[in-house]
Amino acid sequence: MTFAELKHLHSLPLFDLIQRAREVHVSHWRDRKVQLCTLLSIKTGGCSEDCAYCSQSARYETEIERQPLMERDEVMRHARAARAGGSTRFCMGAAWKGVRGGTERFEQVLDIVREVSTLGMEVCVTLGELGAEEAKQLREAGVTAYNHNLDTSPEHYPNIVTSHTYEDRLRTIRHVQDAGMSVCCGGILGLGETIDDRLRMLEVISNFNPQPESVPINSLMPMPGTPLAENPQVDPFDLVRMIACTRIAVPMAKVRLSAGRTRLSEGIQALCFFAGANSIFYGEKLLTAGNPEMEDDRRLLARLGLDTLEADPSLEAPAGDPHRPPSPFMREAGSACC
Ligand code: SAM
Ligand code: DTB
Ligand code: SF4
């Protein structure tokens, strides 16, 4: 979608916007199920990058306890528990700038992925920057989706991160697509961005070819010690608007109502599901931050009459549209985007 189209949508009266999003949602997602995904931080803290929102950056004095790469057996214990709890996607995150083939830690990650992929869940990882070869190896090991967020607009990004660029993020996403993994790419609301920044990000994401398989919409969880620790909470109705615009702009994606649910009322979460969200992170911990109690989530979904989605461990990356011109934001891996 173009920025102008998104701007028009976003400026509609809220109920008109939700109505349009609802039509798109029910025509593409007839079963109206919600996917439960479990997150696990397999390497915590001590990250070289300076992302201003992140508790895991080594540049800030935060309350996070650093943890080295988790042993495979411990990851497997968490993964089995996640499956037993009803999660159909297991997402492992590592606080790294990126990974490089041939290193011991990358081999260890491949080993973990091979093992987790035997459990019949979708396997997602988020490890930072990847080259083409690393992407291929992850795919072969059993990764179904790779999470790499753009987080905000290309214009606002340098105000939030200076240790890598928007183009670096796009290059990794291109490698993930080329390796045949599904792309999970979204952003965060509450980084001091304007509405235009949010829609610019959505413009970039919706122009990926293929469009991402999932789009996480996070609300900033202010982390003590980070530069954004005092940022105000986003208006929850603006979150609903963003979910609705995302549903319309990326109709086939799982739109994941991600970080920040602990500060949302059940009413707002219900409105997010109505406006097009069809996935959540499930489990009392995200990577380092808290998440609602599993029991509360189960009860909420039951009260709303929402079923949960089965796993698709053979998840295929969405096919690109050969008739659409290449995304202007992703001409070639490595070229400037904007
Ligand atoms: N290091 C990898 C990377 O940067 O892609 C993976 C981990 S990173 C923590 C994954 C995503 O979590 C970020 O891109 C951001 O969208 C989200 N995130 C991190 N800290 C957050 C916070 N305090 N509030 C909301 N979302 C956050
Ligand atoms: C995403 O978009 N959100 C998740 C997942 N992808 C990796 C991470 C949220 C992190 C929230 C802050 C924390 O737990 O430290
Ligand atoms: Fe590191 Fe990822 Fe956190 Fe940035 S968001 S500091 S790259 S863990």
Q: Indicate the pTM of the whole model.
A: 0.94
Pocket test for ligand 1, best of 54, 149, 150, 171 (most atoms within 8 A of CB): 54
DSSP code, position 324: S
In the chain, the percentage of residues whose pLDDT exceeds 90 is 90
Q: 37 an active-site residue?
A: no
pLDDT single digits (tens) 158-182 = 999 999 999 999 999 999 999 999 9
| Ligand 3 near 207 CB (within 6 A) | no
Q: Is the pLDDT of residue 121 over 70?
A: yes
Distances (CA, A) of 183 to 170, 178, 320: 11, 10, 12
pLDDT single digits (tens) 275-292 = 999 999 999 999 999 999
Band the pLDDT of 114: cuts 50, 70, 90.
Answer: very high
Measuring CA to CA, which residue among 300, 310, 232 is closest to residue 271?
300
Q: Is the pLDDT of residue 255 over 50?
A: yes
How far is 251 from 316, CA to CA, in rounded Å?
A: 17
| Ligand 1 near 221 CB (within 6 A) | yes
The dihedral sign for the CA sequence 286, 123, 187, 296: negative
**For residues 35 and 301, is the Cβ–Cβ distance under 8 A?**
no
pLDDT single digits (tens) 93-111 = 999 999 999 999 999 999 9
Q: Find where tokens 């700038």 sit.
A: 97
Q: Is the pLDDT of residue 337 over 80?
A: no
| Ligand 3 near 95 CB (within 6 A) | yes
Which residue out of 20, 169, 171, 256 is catalytically annotated?
256
Structure tokens at 145: 């989706």
Domains belonging to the chain, first-starting first, are 3-308 (3.20.20.70)
**For residues 68 and 182, is the Cβ–Cβ distance under 8 A?**
no
| Ligand 1 near 188 CB (within 6 A) | yes
Pocket test for ligand 3, best of 56, 97, 148, 165 (most atoms within 8 A of CB): 56
Band the pLDDT of 317: cuts 50, 70, 90.
Answer: low
Q: 245 an active-site residue?
A: no
Which residue out of 47, 185, 245, 272 is catalytically annotated?
47
How far is 250 from 77, CA to CA, in rounded Å?
A: 34
Measuring CA to CA, which residue among 289, 206, 143 is closest to residue 9?
206
Pocket test for ligand 2, best of 258, 279, 282, 285 (most atoms within 8 A of CB): 258
Band the pLDDT of 335: cuts 50, 70, 90.
Answer: very low
